[in-house]
Amino acid sequence: MKLSDLHRITPARIQALHNSQIASISDLLYFFPRRYIDRSNVLPISGINEYSGSVTVIGKITSIQEIGFARKKRLQGTIYDGTGILNGVWFKGLSYFKQRFKQGNLVSFFGTVKQFGSSLTMSHPDVEDIDASDNSGAGIVPVYPSTNFFKNTFITSLIIQKWVKQVLFNRTYEEYFPEYLLTALRLPNRTDSLRFIHAPQSLTEPAAGLRRFKLEELLLFQLSMQRLRNNRISKNPGAHLTAGKLTDQFLHGVLPFEFTEGQSLAFGDITFDMDSGVQMNRLIQGDVGSGKTVVALAAMLMAVDSGYQASMMVPTEILAEQHFQTLNNYLAPLGVNVRLLTGNQSAPLRRDMLTDIEGGGAHIVVGTHALIQDKVRFHKLGLAVIDEQHRFGVLQRSNLLSKGEHPHVLVMSATPIPRSLAMTLYSDLDISLIKGLPSGRKPISTVVRYDKNRPDMYRFVRDEISKGGQAYVVFPLVEESEAMDLKDATMGFEQLKGIYPDFEIGLVHGRMKSAEKEAVMKRFAAGEVQILVSTTVIEVGVNVPNASIMILEHAERFGLSQLHQLRGRIGRGERKSFCILMTDVKRSKDARVRLETMARTNDGFEIAEVDLKLRGPGDFLGTKQSGLPDFRFADIVDDHLLVQETRALAQQILKEDPKLEQPRHKGLRKVFERYFSAKAQYFSMS
């Protein structure tokens, strides 16, 4: 059957369907209703009033008329249901609705009513045509989403409903899931699921049907990730990396502190993995300041101890330079050769570096993306650490690792990622959590303040600095406008110089050369500068334990995770630290939630959960590079329990049947292979 066989189809309508991503009958079947009208729960018009909340009524259209003049012109459609009359009013789309409604048609209105005297009005109700010939009366009516293309050709929900019925009932659909899974998971089969969704007998059926498709989609995704991972592992038996003299010296001599319990546990996982004979693929999750870097460092030393090289890739040059400094400080005394590789180094330096890396003289290489260029060849790479700010998605990561070398892989998250997201984004990795912060950290007090509080704030900052503290003042990056951004920070800088003529104040922004930036930061780190004004360039890195105040100007403009990341710059030393969120009295609701969350908790995982709720997964991760798969039915946040379930399930299935060769997995294998090669198009072939 083809789209052109549908009842009352026209070429224009076929085009409208195409434009709405419905190119075949099966696309139509996977075009699901957005809600349902329960006709047994429709209220009589005589029984509703202003206080009824959202209600559905069904009636016949008795009149359609334009009323009012000029700008106040509106369309009023009146319906009668035998008990009373109700007016629907439209201020927009008059001509569309005028054409669409015909006197005598049976329709439903969904919305809240307003009462004017004795008359009832719904403004812009959600309207659906009701099939008058369908006398079942009490059925549940699916309401399909509408697109502008549909509107242009008057494809209404009722028409889609009829089309779907035309195809739905005269066939069954191939079932890919093995019987044992359907039973174990209490899933309806494909045929039933589609019926539950398009023609439910009760309001619980659609959810049961939808669960099946979500689960299917997530399971296929998890299977493909696990398989990628298993392939990689079976092809690349990992080198045996074990701790030796360097690691020992580092942990028990050079490092001025002991690992926290969280760090020890994560390091234990790594130690186990790297000596297991199987390639490690592990993510370390930990809050800002939980001490991920030193754990990675110890792991890299294990590689060096075992005669291998290690690399650490980071997303920005500043961060690369900073990690390089840290590593060098610790490791130079041990005679470990650490090198820094970035994109903008001089040709001779670069040549020397490449030789050093290829010859094996370089033990540890820190760098940006430049590290994965073709020209960089390691002598014997045993461990690749990726310090990412959720920058690399699943696929990029696996590309990155298929570049000839097959090192153990350790990924560090820059800020905590909610479990639900981590399960998807890092579905091919094992996860270690570093819980808690190093002891001795004093919790940071965070407050929200307004312009009227400035005098108090300036006094407070003066007191703290007089007692030996230091302060950051950070201005947000104004979207798309580095110039504006600069202006804010520069003005703030000038203003502060006026307020504190006796203090040294520094300015750092993205337009400065990195040498200039570094010079200012160094003076701040050395305590020669007391107040550092900056744009968000300080977000990553910088570690100045003496800094005890962070003032975030226009705090409402920062994202929540970013606020938390910035706050992580203080509270690193002996001093009690304070984070002051300066903001306008007028804030959006989202902004209020962000600031309140910051004031309420220091727990990065809790903050990440809130942030994810506010922004959704795409924005949380930084849309374009998020590397998140595009799920059609599942929502990785709302459906995180299913994500978890399918992850475990995929592991189980592949453990019992690594290549899906068992007869019972025949269907699953078929759809999986389609998914694996065509990715996500598998359902268009039902």
The site for ligand ADP (CB under 6 A) is made up of 257, 259-260, 263, 286, 288-294, 438, 543, 572
Cβ distance to ligand ADP smaller for residue 259 or 682 = 259
Least Cβ distance, residue 513 to ligand ADP (angstroms): 25
Least Cβ distance, residue 254 to ligand ADP (angstroms): 11
> From CA 686, how far away is CA 178, in angstroms rounded?
16
Least Cβ distance, residue 563 to ligand ADP (angstroms): 15
Least Cβ distance, residue 295 to ligand ADP (angstroms): 8
Q: Residue with CB nearest ligand ADP?
A: 291
Least Cβ distance, residue 251 to ligand ADP (angstroms): 11
Strand partners, 78: 63, 87
State the DSSP H helix or E strand holding residue 301, giving kind and residue range, or none if neither: helix 292-305
Least Cβ distance, residue 260 to ligand ADP (angstroms): 5
Task: Write phi, then psi, for 194 (nearest 5 degrees).
Answer: -65, -40
In degrees to the nearest 10, what's the CA dihedral of 355, 358, 363, 369?
90
Residue 482 · residue 475 · CB < 8 Å: no
Cβ distance to ligand ADP smaller for residue 199 or 298 = 298
Residue 215 · residue 648 · CB < 8 Å: no
Least Cβ distance, residue 479 to ligand ADP (angstroms): 26
Which residues, 6+ apart, have CB-to-CB distance to 652 below 8 Å?
none
Least Cβ distance, residue 441 to ligand ADP (angstroms): 8
DSSP character at residue 535: -
Least Cβ distance, residue 542 to ligand ADP (angstroms): 10
> From CA 119, how far away is CA 129, in angstroms rounded?
23
Cβ distance to ligand ADP smaller for residue 350 or 435 = 435
Cβ distance to ligand ADP smaller for residue 389 or 686 = 389
Cβ distance to ligand ADP smaller for residue 259 or 392 = 259
Cβ distance to ligand ADP smaller for residue 520 or 525 = 525
3-state secondary structure of 104: coil
Task: Write phi, then psi, for 221 (nearest 5 degrees).
Answer: -60, -50
Q: Which amino acid is at 415?
A: T
Sheet holding 281-286, edge to edge: 338-341, 364-367, 309-313, 381-388, 408-413, 281-286, 430-434
Cβ distance to ligand ADP smaller for residue 546 or 625 = 546
> From CA 330, how far away is CA 255, in angstroms rounded?
7
Cβ distance to ligand ADP smaller for residue 224 or 260 = 260
Cβ distance to ligand ADP smaller for residue 540 or 612 = 540
3-state secondary structure of 132: coil
The candidate with the shortest Cα–Cα distance to 308, out of 236, 371, 380, is: 380
Least Cβ distance, residue 602 to ligand ADP (angstroms): 13
For 537, other C-beta atoms within 10 Å of its C-beta total 21
Which residues, 6+ apart, have CB-to-CB distance to 44 below 8 Å?
57, 81, 82, 83, 84
Cβ distance to ligand ADP smaller for residue 212 or 323 = 323
Least Cβ distance, residue 472 to ligand ADP (angstroms): 16
Cβ distance to ligand ADP smaller for residue 122 or 444 = 444
Task: Say how many CA atoms lie within 13 Å of 424 toward its Cβ.
Answer: 27
Estimate the crossing angle of helix 317-331 against helix 514-525, to 10 degrees: 50
Cβ distance to ligand ADP smaller for residue 56 or 322 = 322
Least Cβ distance, residue 289 to ligand ADP (angstroms): 5
> From CA 585, how far away is CA 581, in angstroms rounded?
12
Residue 528: Cβ-neighbour burial (10 angstroms; 0-12, 13-18, 19+):
exposed
> From CA 570, how far away is CA 443, in angstroms rounded?
10
> From CA 655, how far away is CA 650, in angstroms rounded?
8
Cβ distance to ligand ADP smaller for residue 308 or 330 = 330
Least Cβ distance, residue 434 to ligand ADP (angstroms): 7
Q: Enumerate the H helices of 578-639 as residue ranges.
A: 589-600, 604-621
State the DSSP H helix or E strand holding residue 221, giving kind and residue range, or none if neither: helix 205-235
Cβ distance to ligand ADP smaller for residue 391 or 557 = 391
Residue 409 · residue 280 · CB < 8 Å: yes
Rg (alpha carbons) of the chain, rounded to whole number: 31
Least Cβ distance, residue 557 to ligand ADP (angstroms): 23
Residue 493 · residue 507 · CB < 8 Å: yes
Residue 17: Cβ-neighbour burial (10 angstroms; 0-12, 13-18, 19+):
buried
